[in-house]
């Protein structure tokens, strides 16, 4: 199963840079997760001021430039993992948060196989 792990960010509060100790711990964690075959991708999102919102209504589209001030919680960093269960995703997330601190959300991803053969 694939899971999307993500942290939330508040663009009005700059994140402090990672400490050298955190960076030293992050390298082995990432290497282990890649060797275990669970890490599919990881990254962080640019500020919402660099994004756009696309809305569809009545057959027409509206494109609005960011920032998205009305958003209460914006996704900051994320990982896409493939593990056997939610429990395994939680286990890997706990290990990551021991390094980075903070909190994370975990959501299962649905794929074509989750919707039957139609």
pLDDT tens figures, 74-100: 888 899 999 999 999 999 999 999 998
Q: Which two tokens stand for residue 112?
A: 């074509």
Q: Look up residue 87 and give its DSSP letter.
A: H
Domain spans in the chain, listed from the N-terminal domain onward: 2-110
> Is CATH 3.30.70.100 the classification given to domain 2-110?
no
- Whether residue 22 is predicted with pLDDT greater than 70 in this model: the reply is yes
| pLDDT value for 71 | 63
Q: Cβ distance 38 to 104 under 8 Å?
A: no
What's the mean pLDDT in 90-118? 88
Structure tokens at 32: 């282990």
Beta-carbon contacts of residue 86 (< 8 Å; ≥ 6 apart) = 1, 3, 106, 108
* HSE of 13, CA atoms in CB hemisphere, 13 A: 7
**Would you say 74 and 3 are in contact if contact means Cβ atoms under 8 Å apart?**
no
């Amino acid at each position: 199963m694939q899971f999307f792990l993500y942290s939330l960010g508040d663009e009005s509060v700059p994140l402090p840079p990672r400490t050298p100790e955190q960076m030293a711990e992050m390298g082995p964690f990432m290497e282990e997760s890649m060797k275990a075959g669970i890490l599919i991708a990881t990254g962080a999102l640019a500020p919402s001021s660099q994004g756009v919102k696309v809305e569809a209504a009545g057959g027409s589209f509206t494109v609005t430039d960011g920032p998205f001030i009305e958003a209460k919680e914006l996704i900051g960093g994320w990982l896409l993992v493939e593990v056997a269960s939610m429990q395994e995703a939680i286990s890997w997330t706990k290990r990551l948060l021991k390094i980075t601190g903070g909190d994370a959300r975990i959501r299962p991803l649905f794929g074509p196989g989750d919707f039957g053969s139609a």
